[in-house]
């Protein structure tokens, strides 16, 4: 929106130059040669103004592009960090799960073995009954 205001301001400035030049020509008590020189000088000043404003606009756009690149780089870096943290957490959860399964498997195997021993003891200790 600020850019639109700048463009409108520039358009009004140029329109004002034109109206001012026309009024100056109509009411100037100068000779034709002096008037032409004044018009040429005004045109040169207007051209220089436009060049200056164009350079400023190019610099501003360049600065905005650079700032945008920096922000994108920052966002990409943050995204990578988040992915890395998520991956590390996932790997930690998987390792915990493996450890839990191994622990539970050991407990179940021990319980089964304890059950077999209890059965052997209760059935009289003969292994032929198995």
Q: Give the three-state DSSP class for 107.
A: helix
Q: For tokens 């436009």, name the residue.
A: 50
Q: What is the pLDDT of residues 9-24, one digit of tens each?
A: 888 888 888 888 778 7
How is residue 17 written in tokens? 């130059």
Written as six digits, the tokens of 24 are 């100056």
pTM of the model: 0.44
Summarize pLDDT for 26-36 with one digit per residue, the tens: 776 767 788 77
Checking if the pLDDT of 102 tops 90, the result is yes
The string of pLDDT tens digits covering residues 77-89 is: 999 999 999 999 9
**Where are the domains positioned within the chain?**
2-123
10: left (phi over 0), alpha (psi -120 to 50) or beta: alpha
């Amino acid at each position: 929106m600020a850019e639109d205001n700048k463009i409108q301001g520039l358009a009004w400035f140029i329109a004002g130059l034109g109206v001012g030049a026309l009024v100056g020509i109509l009411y100037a008590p100068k000779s034709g040669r002096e008037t032409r020189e004044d018009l040429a000088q005004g045109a040169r000043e207007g051209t220089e103004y436009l060049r200056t404003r164009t350079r400023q606009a190019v610099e501003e756009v360049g600065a905005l592009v650079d700032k945008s690149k920096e922000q994108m780089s920052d966002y990409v870096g943050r995204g990578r960090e988040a992915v890395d943290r998520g991956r590390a957490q996932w790997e930690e959860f998987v390792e915990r799960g493996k450890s839990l399964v191994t622990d539970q498997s050991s407990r179940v195997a021990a319980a089964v073995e304890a059950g077999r021993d209890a059965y052997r003891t209760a059935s009289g200790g003969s292994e032929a009954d198995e």
